[in-house]
Amino acid sequence: MEPLLSALSSCTEALLAEAAGPVAVAAAGRAGVASRPCPCPLSHGDCSLNRLLSRLLTARRSLEICLFAFSSPQLGCAVRLLHRRGVRVRIVTDAQYMGLQGSQIGLLRQAGIQVRHDQESGYMHHKFAIVDGRMVITGSLNWTTHAIQNNRENVLVMEDAEYVKPFLDEFERIWEEYNPINYRFFSQRQ
């Protein structure tokens, strides 16, 4: 039940390395050596993106993600790590945004993660994730590098069942609605 409100900015490699063990240590080398500061323009201490990652990385059984736009390599790396650990990851995203340059969706699918998308003219504009059915992470933030580095955003982390349940119900509803068996590949004329 900790609301997090701030512009997000971070280099998260150290945190991912800590969570991942040997898998990400090579990539995390830059941030781990105090005498050789990371050359990237992001902050490296306690910050909102690191706190968001640390919440995500507590997942042990399931992770539902429902995002309009997903292009952050750090967050994509964390999600693939959870998938490799055996966490059941399911992603719903917006059809028009998932193919844009820099999107993580292709990499997540390549990794074997289930992804479904809308088929509507409007946007699938949600921005939430549910960890182990007990914690919802929601707010204004799309998981994009641009938003993390530049925007004024808010992220809420809530464990109250009264808030988690409607998001879980919404996820299951649209997961079924966007089941590929329902896709219409050709226009249906009467």
Please report whether residue 125 would count as binding a second copy according to CB under 8 A: yes
Asked if 127 is an active-site residue, the reply is yes
Residues 6+ apart with CB under 8 A from 135: 55, 58, 157, 158, 159, 164
Query: Total residues contacting a second copy (rule CB under 8 A)?
Result: 37
Closest CA to 89 of 50, 69, 115, 70: 115
Tokens 């939430």, located at residue? 128
Answer for which of 11, 127, 130, 137 binds a second copy (CB under 8 A) is 127
Site string for a second copy, 55-94 (x = CB under 8 A): -------------x--------------------------
Q: Output the smallest distance, CB 176 to a second copy, in A.
A: 14
- The H or E element that residue 15 is part of is helix 13-20
Site string for a second copy, 93-122 (x = CB under 8 A): -------------------------x-xxx
Q: Output the smallest distance, CB 182 to a second copy, in A.
A: 15
The region, left, alpha or beta by phi > 0 then psi within -120 to 50, assigned to residue 132 is left
Q: Which is nearer to a second copy, 84 or 152 (CB)?
A: 152
Asked if 169 is an active-site residue, the reply is no
Contacts 24+ apart (CB under 8 A), 41-44: 41/149, 42/9, 42/10, 42/11, 42/149, 43/9, 43/10, 43/11, 44/10, 44/11, 44/14
Q: Are 132 and 59 in contact (CB under 8 A)?
A: yes
Active site residue: 46, 125, 146, 169, which one?
125
Active site residue: 44, 83, 117, 127, which one?
127
Asked if 44 is an active-site residue, the reply is no
Tokens 């105090």, located at residue? 34
Binding site for a second copy (CB under 8 A): 1, 3, 5-7, 68, 118, 120-128, 138-141, 146-147, 149-154, 156, 158, 162-163, 166-167, 169-170, 174
